[in-house]
Structure 1
Amino acid sequence: MSDIGIQVRRDDSGQGPIVTGFQGRGFRVRDDVFPGGLLLSPLRALAWDHAPAVDALTVAALGDFIDLEPLPEFLLLGTGAGLRQPPRAFVRVLEARGIGVEAMDSRAAARAWGVLRAEERWIVGALLPL
């Protein structure tokens, strides 16, 4: 039996930005490195350079990132190296707008982002540094 040199490659078409790895406390999205926090939408990835601590999270800290049309189903919140619950007031404000909040550590959130975007879920992500 001969080796035919098959190369397996992940098909990212139509999924938008996907976290492909971790670097230091930050994230790699394809060829770009985001050394701090990362904001993700189905359309773009942005550095979240001045990401607050989990306890200090406010909707204003997200800027206009979640103002998509249609609104995202939920915010996938990466809380850093470990799971921490965001402030209840932060969650209530988003839920009042019809946006759920799913919190998990940032590595798990980055992996979940890829799975959910492969399913074409209309979500946003905010990943605090590791």
Structure 2
Amino acid sequence: MKLQLEKTDGLNTFTAYGEGYVSVNGVRHNCNLAVLPDRLLPNWTQATFETLCAADLELLASLDAEIILLGTGNQLRFPNPELLRPLVQAQKGLEVMDLPAACRTYNILMGEGRKVAVGLLLV
């Protein structure tokens, strides 16, 4: 699916997504990716959903964001609550979504000027 915002002012936005990929500002990515309005973190983790660990979420918790999204691929899956400890310690919440919902939600929040970060599991 292609996504288009009217005004992005040079900020990172999702322009497309599909099976095993996302496009940010028209550039296709096939690896796990963390996205903030002003930066990309390719390969933020090498984990699959099944091998996700607390250190992976610790990296997301350390980002300068007030809202953190986790895209779990084509299927909505919730991580083990033990993995959320770094987010609890950083006093940040986590919204878990499937990949399409995470891309759309990120674009909306970013377009509103919110400090948002999204970690996407593509592998």
Q: TM-score under structure 2 normalisation? A: 0.82
Give the equivalent residue in structure 1 for 2:55: 60
Deviations along 1:72-123, one digit per CA (max 9) or x if unpaired, are: 2232000011100012112232122111110010111001000010111112
* SS across alignment from 1:82: coil
Larger radius of gyration: 1
Gaps of 5+ in 1: 1-7
Size of the alignment, in residue pairs? 120
Aligned match for 2:14, one of 3, 19, 34:
19
Instruction: Tell me whether 1:127 sits opposite 2:120 in the alignment.
Output: yes
In 1: Cα distance, 2:13 partner to 2:35 partner: 9
Instruction: Tell me the secondary structure at the aligned position of residue 111 of structure 1.
Output: helix
Q: Flag structure 2 segments of 5+ consecutive residues without an equivalent.
A: none
Where does residue 101 of structure 2 map in the other structure? 108
Question: Residue in 2 aligned with 1:3?
Answer: none
Instruction: Say which of 43, 47, 61 aligns to 2:38.
Output: 43
- State the one-letter code of the partner of 2:86: V
Deviation at 1:51, TM superposition (A): 3.3
Partners of 1:83 and 1:112 in 2: CA distance: 14
**Corresponding residue for residue 76 of structure 2:** 83
Cα deviation 1:3-48 (Å, max 9, x = unaligned)? xxxxx9721116x211110254111011311112221112112322
Q: Is 2:32–2:122's contact at 8 Å kept on the other side of the alignment?
A: yes
DSSP-derived class of the 1:129 partner: coil
Moved over 4 A (4+): 62-66
Equivalent residues of 1:80, 1:106 under 8 A apart: yes
Q: What do you get for the CA RMSD once the two structures are aligned?
A: 2.4
Q: Is 1:29 equivalent to 2:41 in the alignment?
A: no
Name the amino acid aligned to 1:74. I
Q: Is the 8 A contact 1:66 1:124 kept in 2?
A: no
Sequence identity (%): 28
